[in-house]
Amino acid sequence: MRMRSPNFNFLQPVSQPGDAGARVIAVTSGKGGVGKTNLTVNLAVGLNRRGYRTAIFDADLGMANAEVLLGISPRYTLYDYLYNGKSMIEIIAVAPAGVSVISGGSGFVELANLDYQARKRLGRGLQELDRCFDFVLVDTGAGISKTVLGFVAAAQEALVVLTPEPTSLTDAYGLIKILAKYNVHNQIMVVVNRAGDEKEAWRTYQTLQTTTERFLQVRLINLGFLPDDKTVVQAVKQQQPFIMQAPAAPAAQHLVQVANRLLAGRQAESPGGLQSFFGKLMRLFG
């Protein structure tokens, strides 16, 4: 599972004091096509149904799949807040499932260039959002680009999604290896998606865990798995979360277990909240 890692000096840990706020979790993957966004959307719906105010920050720039899966089309993005005078409340789109969506647009790349007044305004807006949500799931792009790693580094926690396919396993390890190299997170949550059965899911996780424990100083936390389930494909076609479309289906039942494990233990390593998250982004991309 060897993978050369580029020099990402921007991932050096950032010391950023902050107040406790929303629990910000970056959901990411080593490669595309593993169901990362679908997991993010359904996990958000599951948490919302449990009474937790949940939002998705769609950071998969140029690929607004979370919005598509929820059947919505946000009118405004973070860019509109930064440059077009829109309020934080105005840029939030609420899906029929009750989950809020904050679309990243292209605004994040301008964060490092904000002047003092703009940064103060952003801080006030994020402080307001921190009071609105219990969870913010950051749906990142896939892979190890500077953008993806920046979002993962800025988040309070990280959740890596993979499938039993050898390429997915290799790429997931490559991603974790880079995060470990720069001491971004000392523990990472893992979900195996599209497993044939529980044994295959467990073998996949154990392979990743064994290699990680042998070569890296990172603790993996197994949140469980989602089985390969045809109802997921059907729900995607209808632009509805499968946890709503087919709540009795195997995928939905296992998603509930994943949510339960996520709620059972807070894996926080640093002060949370959107204000802390975006503060780190401004540093990392500066």
Burial classification of residue 89, based on how many CB atoms lie within 10 Å of its CB (0-12 exposed, 13-18 middle, 19 or more buried): exposed
pLDDT in tens, 85-127: 888 889 899 998 899 998 876 656 666 566 777 777 777 777 7
pLDDT in tens, 202-237: 999 999 999 999 999 999 999 999 999 999 999 999
CATH code that applies to domain 22-157+230-284: 3.40.50.300
Sheet order of strands, 54-58 included:
92-94, 100-103, 54-58, 135-142, 23-29, 157-162, 187-195, 219-227
Percent of the chain residues past pLDDT 70, beyond the cut: 85
Q: Residue 278 has which token pair?
A: 């975006």
Higher pLDDT, 41 or 126: 41
Angle between helices 250-264 and 36-49 (to 10 degrees): 70
| pTM of the model as a whole | 0.88
**SS3 at position 165:** coil
Return the top range by mean pLDDT from 34-38, 139-143, 265-269. Answer: 34-38
Residue 84: band (very low, low, confident or very high) from pLDDT cuts 50, 70, 90? confident
pLDDT in tens, 168-178: 999 999 999 99
